[in-house]
Structure 1
Amino acid sequence: MIASNICKDLYESLQRNRLKGQIHSVFDNSFNVIDQDNHLISFLGPNKPMAPRSIKLTEKISFIDLGFEQGQKLEFYDDFVFLKENNIIISFDKALLWNKEPLLFSDIDLAKDSMENVFRKLCLMGTFILEEGKKEGIVPLLKTLEGKIKGIEPILDNNILLSKREEFIRERFLAFIDSYLKENIEEIPLRSKDIIGFGIGLTPSMDDFLSGMMVSRIYLSSYLNHDFKKAIEINKAIVKNIKNKTTLVSEEMLKYSSMGEVNEDVRNLMATFLSNSSTNTFYKYLKKVADFGETSGTDMISGIYIGSQILLN
Structure 2
Amino acid sequence: MKIDGMDQHFYQECVTKKRIGFRVHSVFESAVNLISQEGIWATVVSKGRWLPPNGFRVKNFPELKERLKQEDSFWMDENILPDKLIDLHIHRITEKPEQRESMEILEKKVEYLQEYLNIFGKEGFMRKPLPEKIQLSLTAFDQGLDNQDEERVKDSLQGLIGFGKGLTPSMDDYLAARILVWKIWKQIYPIKETIHFGDFVVDGAVQKTTVVSERMLQFANQGRCSEDLLRLFRMMFLSSKGPEYEDAIKEVMEIGGSSGEDWIYGIIKETKRLLVNRKGGNNA
TM-score scaled by length of structure 2: 0.89
Query: Quick check: 1:33–1:41 contact (8 Å CA) kept in 2?
Result: yes
1 CA distance for matches of 2:181 and 2:162?
20
Q: Deviations over 1:175-205 (max 9, x none)?
A: 2232233232233222212211111111110
Aligned twin of 1:96: 84
TM-score scaled by length of structure 1: 0.81
Q: Deviations over 1:62-85 (max 9, x none)?
A: 765x25339812222223xxxxxx
2:266 counterpart letter in structure 1? G
2:87 counterpart letter in structure 1? N
2:124 counterpart (108, 115, 136): 136
Query: Quick check: 1:103–1:271 contact (8 Å CA) kept in 2?
Result: no
Which structure's residues are more often helix, by fraction? 2
1 CA distance for matches of 2:57 and 2:207?
28
Aligned twin of 2:115: 127
Q: Is the alpha carbon distance of 1:106 and 1:297 closer, same or farther for their aligned partners in structure 2, counting shifts above 3 Å?
A: closer
Cα distance, 1:104 vs. partner? 5.5
1:197 counterpart letter in structure 2? G
Aligned twin of 1:216: 181
Root mean square deviation, CA, Å: 2.2
1:272 counterpart (232, 235, 238): 235
Cα distance, 1:170 vs. partner? 2.8
Cα distance, 1:173 vs. partner? 2.8
Query: Quick check: 2:33–2:41 contact (8 Å CA) kept in 1?
Result: yes
Q: Is the alpha carbon distance of 1:70 and 1:311 closer, same or farther for their aligned partners in structure 2, counting shifts above 3 Å?
A: farther
Query: Quick check: 1:51–1:263 contact (8 Å CA) kept in 2?
Result: yes
Query: Quick check: 1:204–1:250 contact (8 Å CA) kept in 2?
Result: yes
Query: Quick check: 2:133–2:159 contact (8 Å CA) kept in 1?
Result: no
2:233 counterpart letter in structure 1? M
Query: Quick check: 1:5–1:95 contact (8 Å CA) kept in 2?
Result: yes
Q: Is the alpha carbon distance of 1:302 and 1:71 closer, same or farther for their aligned partners in structure 2, counting shifts above 3 Å?
A: farther
Aligned twin of 2:156: 191
Aligned twin of 1:10: 10
Q: Deviations over 1:152-191 (max 9, x none)?
A: xxxxxxxxxx5xxx34533233322322332322332222
Aligned twin of 1:41: 42
Which one is further off, 199-208 or 44-53?
44-53
Cα distance, 1:53 vs. partner? 0.7
Does the residue aligned with 1:41 lie in a helix, a strand or coil? strand
2 CA distance for matches of 1:109 and 1:191?
33
1 CA distance for matches of 2:134 and 2:182?
24
1:113 counterpart letter in structure 2? E
Cα distance, 1:276 vs. partner? 1.1
Does the residue aligned with 2:49 lie in a helix, a strand or coil? coil
Which one is further off, 54-63 or 295-304?
54-63
Q: Deviations over 1:285-304 (max 9, x none)?
A: 11100100000000001000
1:114-263 paired onto structure 2 within 5 Å? 114-141=102-129, 166-167=131-132, 169-226=134-191, 230=194, 233-263=196-226
Aligned twin of 1:61: 62
Cα distance, 1:113 vs. partner? 2.0
Query: Quick check: 2:15–2:78 contact (8 Å CA) kept in 1?
Result: yes
1 CA distance for matches of 2:272 and 2:11?
37
What percentage of residue pairs aligned between the two structures are identical?
Answer: 23
Query: Quick check: 2:50–2:228 contact (8 Å CA) kept in 1?
Result: yes
Query: Quick check: 1:188–1:238 contact (8 Å CA) kept in 2?
Result: no
1 CA distance for matches of 2:266 and 2:86?
25
Structure 1 stretches of 5 or more lacking a match? 80-90, 142-161
